[in-house]
Amino acid sequence: MNTNKEIKRVAIIGAGIAGLSCARKLQSHGITVDIFEKSRGPSGRMSTRRSEEWSADHGAQYFTARDPRFIQEVQGWVQAGTAAIWKPNIKVYEAGIWRESNSQEYRYVGTPNMNSPGKHLAKDLSIHYEATVCGLERIGDQWTLQCSELTEMRGAYDFVVIAIPAPQANALLKDLDARAADIASSAQMKACWTMMAHLPNQKSTDFDSAFINQEIISWICQNGSKPMRHGNIWTIHGNPTWSQNHVESSKEDAQDQMVKCMTSLGLNCQDAEISMHRWRYASGGLENSIGFFSLPDIGLGLCGDWLNGGRVEGAWLSGMELAAEIELIKTTS
Ligand SMILES: Cc1cc2nc3c(=O)[nH]c(=O)nc-3n(C[C@H](O)[C@H](O)[C@H](O)COP(=O)(O)OP(=O)(O)OC[C@H]3O[C@@H](n4cnc5c(N)ncnc54)[C@H](O)[C@@H]3O)c2cc1C
């Protein structure tokens, strides 16, 4: 237990869905929370790429809700107009054969973009954007943070939550605490090459999205089939194993291979306008989920999808559960 001091101020590193859910719950219990986020906006991998002519969800494609707590949260997002059910016509491609998907699952998307629920959660939170935490120091029973973009250290915090992908967490933890570093370094995360493509010569297809099995790409989606989207942009994901094996390839090489695969599936990529994105840490995590990780003796916690089965729902729950644990530590200290 953190017996020295009450928990009044918490720093959270990362404004993805896990960091945001953790922050909201802590704040609702009267704890002062500051989030440090290296990007210019919230939401992390629930993200949307924008150019002057188009936009497309290029990280998470949709999310499901199975846990009653997350179902209730998503209902709130739907009521606030920040998420909606998406009912795509989904096909599956395997071994040269296309078939209808028989999945009956409810799929949700952020509206109007995948980063909208994150923006909704970020309201009324104190978030420092373009603040990449590169070091942590514990002086006495409080933490200070060093950000690459800021000259002065930020502190003093009674508890620090690290809500970032495992390899990035490990970089902060390896010289700090062996117990936390062991957890982070044992997680296996894989990359994802993402292609966003306008296919001017592709006639309309008889599917909105497709799971592709046993090929280098694993997912194709017509972004415009989602609620409140316009335009004709396809999002295509490389499969995790192929993406990881080609994580150091150039954008051009990855694009060439993915275009060849699309063409072999029957999609017309002639004169395609393409934008590529490499996610270094897209999916995966601990082999056995532990939900979150907390070290009350030094006031440190880890949350994120990689501790809780991956995906948006797992990330949100991980942040919530860590916040409940911090609240428990606070009331028993
Ligand atoms: C290509 C792709 C497809 C996906 N498809 C789906 C899907 O269809 N359905 C689904 O449920 N899930 C999907 N996911 C997974 C889903 O996006 C994640 O599970 C979820 O968004 C993870 O949230 P998080 O808060 O744990 O982490 P993140 O969203 O990664 O948030 C971490 C945040 O920390 C920030 N950060 C990192 N390091 C630092 C630092 N040192 N200092 C400050 N800030 C830092 C990052 O910028 C980021 O904003 C997909 C992910 C990808 C990449």
| Ligand 1 atom nearest 312 alpha carbon | 11
Q: Are 128 and 38 in contact (CB under 8 A)?
A: no
Distance in angstroms (rounded) separating the CA atoms of residues 220 and 52: 23
Query: Which H helix or E strand runs over 79?
Result: helix 68-79
pLDDT at 2: 42
Q: Which residues line ligand 1 (CB under 6 A)?
A: 13-19, 36-39, 44-46, 59-63, 132-133, 163-165, 168, 192, 194, 237, 279, 282-283, 304-305, 310-312, 315
pLDDT at 141: 92
Residue showing tokens 């909606």: 84
Query: Which H helix or E strand runs over 301?
Result: strand 300-302
Q: Which residue has the higher pLDDT, 317 or 4?
A: 317
Q: Are 62 and 86 in contact (CB under 8 A)?
A: yes
- Rounded mean pLDDT, 27-54: 94
Provide the CA 284 distance to its chain's centre, in angstroms.
Answer: 11
Q: Could you tell me the distance, in angstroms and rounded to a whole number, from the CA of residue 273 to the centre of ligand 1? A: 26
Q: Could you tell me the distance, in angstroms and rounded to a whole number, from the CA of residue 252 to the centre of ligand 1? A: 24
Q: Could you tell me the distance, in angstroms and rounded to a whole number, from the CA of residue 68 to the centre of ligand 1? A: 22
Which range among 46-55, 166-175, 180-189, 207-216 shows the weakest confidence by mean pLDDT? Answer: 46-55
Closest CA to 145 of 2, 38, 280: 38
Q: Could you tell me the distance, in angstroms and rounded to a whole number, from the CA of residue 3 to the centre of ligand 1? A: 33
Q: Choose which residue among 46, 58, 164 to substitute to test ligand 1 binding: the one with the highest number of ligand atoms within 8 A of its C-beta.
A: 164
Distance in angstroms (rounded) separating the CA atoms of residues 65 and 73: 9
Domains of the chain and any CATH numbers: 9-332 (3.50.50.60)
- Residues sharing a CB contact under 8 Å with residue 196, sequence separation 6 or more, in sequence order: 49, 54, 56, 58, 223, 233, 234, 235, 236, 274, 275, 276, 277
- Encode pLDDT of 58-116 as tens digits: 999 999 999 999 999 999 999 999 999 999 999 999 999 999 999 889 999 999 999 99
Residue with CA at minimum distance from ligand 1 atom 10: 311
User: DSSP characters for 275-286?
Assistant: EEEEEEEEEEE-
Residue showing tokens 């957890």: 183
Residue 288: what are its φ and ψ, rounded to 5°? -115, 115
- Encode pLDDT of 121-158 as tens digits: 999 999 999 999 999 999 999 999 999 998 887 879 99
Q: Could you tell me the distance, in angstroms and rounded to a whole number, from the CA of residue 276 to the centre of ligand 1? A: 18
| Ligand 1 atom nearest 318 alpha carbon | 26
Q: Could you tell me the distance, in angstroms and rounded to a whole number, from the CA of residue 191 to the centre of ligand 1? A: 12
pLDDT at 169: 98
Which residues share a beta bridge with 279? 192
- For the whole prediction, is pTM greater than 0.75? yes
Secondary structure (3-state) at 255: helix
Which of the 8 DSSP states describes residue 322? H
Residue with CA at minimum distance from ligand 1 atom 53: 282
Q: Choose which residue among 21, 35, 45 to substitute to test ligand 1 binding: the one with the highest number of ligand atoms within 8 A of its C-beta.
A: 45
Q: Could you tell me the distance, in angstroms and rounded to a whole number, from the CA of residue 288 to the centre of ligand 1? A: 19
Reduced 3-state DSSP string for 89-117: CEEEEECCEEEECCCCCCEEEECCCCCHH
- Encode pLDDT of 195-251 as tens digits: 999 999 998 899 999 999 999 999 999 999 999 998 889 999 999 999 999 999 999
Q: Could you tell me the distance, in angstroms and rounded to a whole number, from the CA of residue 164 to the centre of ligand 1? A: 8
Which of the 8 DSSP states describes residue 205? P
Structure tokens at 40: 């210019």
pLDDT at 5: 63
Whether the pLDDT of residue 170 is over 90: the answer is yes
